[in-house]
């Protein structure tokens, strides 16, 4: 197989693990990344694991002449579109930035793809598109109603993709709604290292375990859940990366737009996750219960049956594996990529 796959945001957390999976499966990924939230060390890490690094082009996805040059220079058949901004909190403080960056650059990418007659794309969507009031587990048909601008940008891009497919049957679109990605490659050569201060639970838990933070704040223990803390569906980033390969192979055989949840279907509460991290690390992690965080839903759990039956994709890693691999990454790289 010598197909080129353009991977926007391929140096980032999920992108780097997916680029590795593509290379291992015989694809030729081309990483397009402006490194606004990633490090070139992730590419070096891929090289350490695989023995070879992918083609890397530093630049912005919204730069249509650069993207057209890539399409002219390489025989690109499909695009994995990871790039974008992802902080819910920041999106509430600066919504325009999110609409411009996420929706604006996706529009530019799609227009360039259309001009180059490239019609296959897999888009990184999110569980945040679902209505937090609806019943869990969420199926792909559960009602959508994002409650923050970040989630709105994801749903908006999904709708733009729907419009494209309706306008031209040549399009092959895979929308992957990720639940809560955690973990790292077991080698410890690639992992999660955002440039901004993390506000997701797992990186903060790991920073507490390694001693960079004194304690973990738990945002509320008065939710309608068995132990009162919020429940999420954590999924190993390697399972997520494999999901992209399965989706790509499905799109090679099917036109149209297809949506799949990528989650395990198992919910874990914050207290359960803290206990698991204590067990895996052997560190007594201090926690403090504080008030609820604005915009949090009590439960977000996937129904992954559609991905399992249509894509023959099954998550392989347990919550223990996720914590162990994330801890291994954190211990080998206490300050992230150097
Ligand atoms: P990440 O920030 O690690 O990766 C995004 C990458 O895109 C980074 O390398 C960044 O430098 C790059 N980038 C950003 N804007 C760019 C631009 N205009 N041009 C070129 N490169 C650009 O994030 P991630 O966790 O790997 O997430 C990947 C995708 O998955 C995002 O679209 C995110 O919204 C989505 N997602 C993430 C999560 C999560 O919890 N990590 C959950 C659901 C969905
Ligand atoms: N939490 C704490 N303390 C912290 C950080 C988080 O108690 O210091 C809690 C949150 O309140 C929430 C849970 O841990 O109940 C998980 O929070 P995260 O921020 O890790 O994850 P979210 O479920 O809020 O959102 C994440 C990503 C989104 C993505 C979504 C998909 O941030 O980008 O998962 O479900 F879209």
* DSSP-derived secondary structure for 150-165: HHHHHHHHHHHHHHHH
Closest by CA position to 299, among listed 221, 237, 235, 233? 233
List, chain by chain if needed, residues with CB within 6 Å of any ligand 2 atom: 86, 88, 126-128, 179-180, 199-201, 204, 216-219, 230, 232, 270, 293, 296, 300
Q: At residue 161, what are phi and psi to the nearest 5 degrees?
A: -65, -40
The protein residue whose alpha carbon is closest to atom 24 in ligand 2 is 296
| Atom of ligand 1 lying closest to residue 83 CA | 7
Tell me: the pLDDT tens digits for 98-134? Answer: 999 999 999 999 999 999 999 999 999 999 999 999 9
Pocket test for ligand 1, best of 86, 128, 185 (most atoms within 8 A of CB): 86
pLDDT at 295 (0 to 100): 79
The answer to whether 162 and 109 have CB atoms below 8 angstroms apart is: no
Residue 198 Cβ contacting ligand 1 at under 6 Å = no
Residue 146 Cβ contacting ligand 1 at under 6 Å = no
**Partner residues linked to 218 by β-bridges:** 289
Tell me: the pLDDT tens digits for 172-199? Answer: 999 999 999 999 999 999 999 977 778 8
Which 8-state DSSP code applies to residue 103?
I
pLDDT at 151 (0 to 100): 96
The protein residue whose alpha carbon is closest to atom 19 in ligand 1 is 60
Tell me: the pLDDT tens digits for 59-98? Answer: 999 999 999 999 999 999 999 999 999 998 899 999 999 9
Other Cβ atoms within 10 Å of 311 Cβ, number: 22
Closest by CA position to 102, among listed 58, 136, 151, 138? 151
Domains and CATH numbers, the chain: 4-183+234-264+304-313 (3.40.50.720)
pLDDT at 2 (0 to 100): 57
Task: Give me the active site residues, please.
Answer: 150
Q: Is the pLDDT of residue 1 over 50?
A: no
Residue 86 Cβ contacting ligand 1 at under 6 Å = yes
Burial of 229 (0-12, 13-18, 19+ CB in 10 A): buried
Ligand 1 centroid – CA 194 distance (Å): 10
**0.95 exceeded by pTM:** yes
The protein residue whose alpha carbon is closest to atom 19 in ligand 2 is 200
Q: Is the pLDDT of residue 34 over 80?
A: yes
Question: Rounded CA gap, 153 and 259, in Å?
Answer: 16
Tell me: the pLDDT tens digits for 262-311? Answer: 999 999 999 999 999 999 999 999 999 999 998 789 999 999 999 999 99
């Amino acid at each position: 197989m010598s197909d080129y796959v353009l991977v926007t945001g391929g140096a980032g957390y999920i992108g780097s693990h997916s680029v590795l999976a593509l290379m291992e499966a015989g694809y030729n990924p081309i990483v397009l990344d402006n490194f606004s939230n990633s490090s070139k060390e992730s590419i070096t890490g891929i090289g350490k694991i695989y023995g070879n690094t992918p083609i890397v082009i530093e630049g912005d996805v919204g730069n249509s002449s650069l993207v057209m040059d890539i399409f002219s220079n390489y025989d690109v058949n499909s695009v994995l579109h990871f790039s974008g901004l992802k902080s819910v909190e920041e999106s509430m403080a600066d919504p325009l930035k999110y609409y411009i960056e996420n929706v604006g650059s996706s529009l530019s990418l799609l227009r360039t793809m259309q001009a180059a007659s490239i019609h296959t794309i897999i888009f990184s969507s999110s569980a945040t598109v679902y209505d937090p009031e609806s019943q869990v587990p969420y199926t792909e048909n559960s009602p959508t109603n994002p409650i923050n601008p970040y989630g709105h940008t994801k749903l908006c891009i999904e709708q733009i993709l729907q419009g494209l497919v309706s306008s031209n049957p040549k399009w092959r679109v895979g929308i992957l709604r990720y639940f809560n990605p955690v973990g790292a490659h077991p080698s410890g050569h690639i992992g999660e290292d955002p440039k901004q201060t993390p506000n997701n639970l797992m990186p903060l838990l790991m920073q507490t375990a390694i001693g960079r933070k004194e304690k973990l704040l738990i945002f509320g223990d008065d939710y309608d859940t068995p132990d009162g803390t919020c429940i999420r569906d954590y999924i190993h980033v390697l399972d997520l990366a494999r999901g992209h390969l399965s989706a790509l192979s499905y799109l090679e055989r099917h036109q149209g737009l297809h949506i799949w949840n990528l989650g395990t279907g198992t919910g874990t509460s914050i207290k359960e996750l803290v206990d698991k991290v204590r067990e895996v690390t052997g560190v007594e992690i201090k926690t403090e219960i504080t008030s609820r965080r604005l915009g949090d839903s009590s439960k977000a759990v996937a129904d992954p049956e559609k991905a399992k039956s249509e894509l023959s994709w099954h998550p392989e890693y347990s919550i223990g594996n996720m914590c162990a691999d994330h801890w291994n990454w954190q211990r080998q790289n206490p300050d992230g990529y150097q």
